[in-house]
Each structure stands twice: as structure tokens, then as C-alpha cells.
């Protein structure tokens, strides 16, 4: 029996690369609007509570705002898998090597105990490594078909809202725990390339060959640990894990006139971050940091669509899979408003 038609919570369903991509981009557009209103209200509150000395606007006592931006580089790969009878029969690896990224983060602190933050990361569309496609038992049983293509990242967006609370506060160490909601949207295209069957070249391809989209909704549980051994230096360590990962993926094969829609529920997500900051003044920090992310291979459902006619085949269970591996490095600065009360 085909799998039941379904989608993300709040979505109307899985409706191809345009429908899936538009669903995620609408989330981002709504988040941009909410972030703009949030910042406007904070700044307006600062003006209302400004001091009389002419030194600028401050927030109410006990409330502080921290704004940071950073730039860096990301190396990653999206994995796509096809299964039959529980056996892997196809594997595609979509590179993002390298991807130049920019990130903006706003955090509202209440009495240095409760924290609300909103983070946005953007990747510049660019040539990004290669795309490889390996098929087993095609075109004949026992054979291996392999192709390699130029990879181009067409889209990369992340947005994450988080809440955390201080669990432990000592002279040189602070521990926070919390929960966040992370949305990621990534699209890569494979162009040109060469096809090999059992190690022998059989074809050369020109122009766009495949286009792949992965969209994630993730609810991670987070622990953040901050050390400050010196007044001018501090370090931070963050760990996040969750089994609450939901992914929608779409792969378009232009030469085959075929599109594959995949849906994966209840995947695992792990993230580890390290950061060191130099406190230039009470208002300004400079920092350097790195991050590692891993979504292990996870199996889900799939269906096939004929691109030219739009004909949709039935969903089949346990026939598709995804994975994600990322490592990033960045530099940046943070500006504090009403830091330490004044």
C-alpha cells in the first residue's frame, strides 16, 4: 500500500520542488518581517528609556540587547540515497565546497537569566565543488554506473529562533540550557559531466543535468557553556541534539524527464560549536569560531513525477534517504546595548 499523502506540520503537502521551495521561503519571509518588528520595538523601547545625559538610548534595567554579525566559509555535502528492498542502489553526493556565508544574530537578555534569540545565515550562490552519482545494478545487474558533474549552489538559507535559561552561574563559568527551532533550505545544481559504466567512459554531458533541494525543520535541545578565565577573553562551547528532524527533498533529472520527491521524518541532528571572544570594551566583542553539524543517513518515503506531464506516481515506503555533513569557520563582532545594566 502506498504511503499516506502528508507534509510538514502546517503544510498542505509535498508538491514538487517549486511547491516545497516556496513553502520554506514563505517561512523565511515571515521570519524577516517578525525580526524587523521585534528590532523596531526594542529600539523604540530604548529611546523611551534613554538617559538624560545624552549618551544614547538604553533599555530598561535588567534587559539587554546583543547584536552580532559574522562572515565565514562553510564546507559541506548533502547526501541523497535510493533504496530497494532495504539495500542501497543509488547514492548522490552534492558538494558545498566552499560556500561563503554571512550570519546575523540578535539576542535579548532578561536579567542575564533568560535569553531569546533570532539567527539568520545566508550562503552566496557560487560554484561549489562537484556532484557524484553512483548507481548499482544499472544498466544491467552487477554493473556500476558512475557520473561526476560540476556543482553550483543556487540557494542557502537558515533561520533559527531559540530560548534558553541560565542553569548555573559561577565567577568564571555559565551554563545555559534551551530549545530552538531551526529551518534550513539548500539547493544545488549539477552541470555538465562525464558518465562511466564499470570504469569505462560512455558519455559526456553538457548543460544542467540535475537539481536537488533539501529543506529541513529541526527542533534541537541545546546546552551552552561559557568560560571567562580573563576579563578580556572568554570561550564558549555549545552542543545540540535532537531526534526531531523533518526533511523534504526533491531531485530533478532533466535528461530523464523525471523528478523524485522524498520525505524523511524523525531524523537525528547533532551540532557542536566552539568560539573565542576578545572583549574590546563593555560594548564591543570580537570573536572567532567554528561549527560542526551532522545528520546521519536516514531513510524515508519517495514518489516519482514525470516533469513534462506532471503525472505523479504513488508514494513508496523506505525507498529514499538523506544525510548532511557541514563544517564552518567564521569571524565577527558583537555590539551590546545596556550591557551589565548600564
DSSP string, 151-166: EEEEEEEEEEEEEEEE
pLDDT averaged over 10-residue windows placed end to end, the chain, 342 residues: 37 52 82 68 54 50 88 98 95 96 93 93 95 93 95 96 96 95 97 96 96 97 95 96 97 95 97 97 95 98 95 96 98 81 42
Q: Report yes or no on whether pTM surpasses 0.75.
A: yes
pLDDT digits (tens, 9 = 90+) for 286-324: 999 999 999 999 999 999 999 999 999 999 999 999 999
pLDDT digits (tens, 9 = 90+) for 31-48: 767 667 666 665 655 544
pLDDT digits (tens, 9 = 90+) for 91-100: 999 999 999 9
Architecture of domain 62-341: Beta Barrel (2.40)
pLDDT at 93: 98
Q: Is 116 helix (H, G, I), strand (E, B) or coil?
A: strand
Burial 228-238 (b: 16+ CB within 10 A, else e): beeeeebebeb
Terminal C-alpha separation, the chain:
64
pLDDT at 53: 46
pLDDT-above-90 percentage for the chain: 74
Q: How does DSSP classify residue 338?
A: S
Amino acid at each position: 500500500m502506498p504511503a499516506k499523502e502528508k507534509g510538514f506540520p502546517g503544510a498542505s503537502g509535498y508538491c514538487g520542488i517549486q511547491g516545497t521551495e516556496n513553502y520554506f521561503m514563505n517561512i523565511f519571509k515571515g521570519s524577516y518581517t517578525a525580526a524587523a518588528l521585534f528590532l523596531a520595538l526594542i529600539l523604540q523601547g530604548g529611546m523611551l528609556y534613554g538617559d538624560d545625559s545624552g549618551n544614547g538610548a538604553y533599555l530598561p534595567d535588567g534587559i539587554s540587547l546583543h547584536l552580532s554579525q559574522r562572515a565565514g566559509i562553510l564546507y559541506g555535502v548533502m547526501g541523497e540515497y535510493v533504496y530497494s528492498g532495504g539495500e542501497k542502489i543509488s547514492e548522490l553526493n552534492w558538494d558545498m565546497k566552499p560556500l561563503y556565508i554571512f550570519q546575523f544574530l540578535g539576542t535579548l537578555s532578561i536579567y542575564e537569566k533568560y535569553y531569546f534569540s533570532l539567527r539568520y545565515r545566508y550562503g552566496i550562490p557560487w560554484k561549489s565543488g562537484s556532484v557524484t552519482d553512483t548507481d548499482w545494478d544499472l544498466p544491467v545487474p552487477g554493473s556500476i554506473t558512475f557520473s561526476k558533474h560540476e556543482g553550483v549552489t543556487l540557494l542557502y538559507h537558515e533561520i533559527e529562533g531559540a530560548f534558553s535559561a541560565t542553569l548555573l552561574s559561577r565567577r568564571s563559568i555559565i551554563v545555559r540550557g534551551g530549545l530552538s527551532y531551526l529551518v534550513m533550505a539548500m539547493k544545488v545544481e549539477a552541470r555538465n559531466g562525464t558518465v562511466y559504466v564499470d570504469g569505462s567512459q560512455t558519455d559526456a554531458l553538457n548543460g544542467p543535468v540535475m537539481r536537488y533541494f533539501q529543506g529541513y525543520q529541526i527542533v534541537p535541545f541545546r546546552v551552552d557553556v561559557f568560560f571567562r578565565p580573563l576579563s578580556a577573553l572568554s570561550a564558549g562551547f555549545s552542543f545540540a541534539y535532537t531526534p526531531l528532524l523533518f526533511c523534504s527533498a526533491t531531485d530533478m533529472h532533466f535528461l530523464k524527464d523525471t523528478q523524485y520527491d522524498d520525505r524523511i521524518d524523525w531524523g537525528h541532528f547533532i551540532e557542536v560549536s566552539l568560539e573565542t571572544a576578545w572583549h574590546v570594551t563593555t560594548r564591543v566583542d570580537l570573536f572567532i569560531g567554528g561549527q560542526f553539524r551532522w545528520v546521519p543517513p536516514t531513510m524515508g518515503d519517495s514518489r516519482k513525477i514525470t516533469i513534462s506531464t506532471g503525472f505523479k506516481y504513488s508514494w513508496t515506503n523506505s525507498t529514499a534517504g538523506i544525510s548532511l555533513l557541514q563544517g564552518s569557520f567564521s569571524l565577527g563582532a558583537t555590539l551590546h546595548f545596556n550591557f551589565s545594566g548600564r
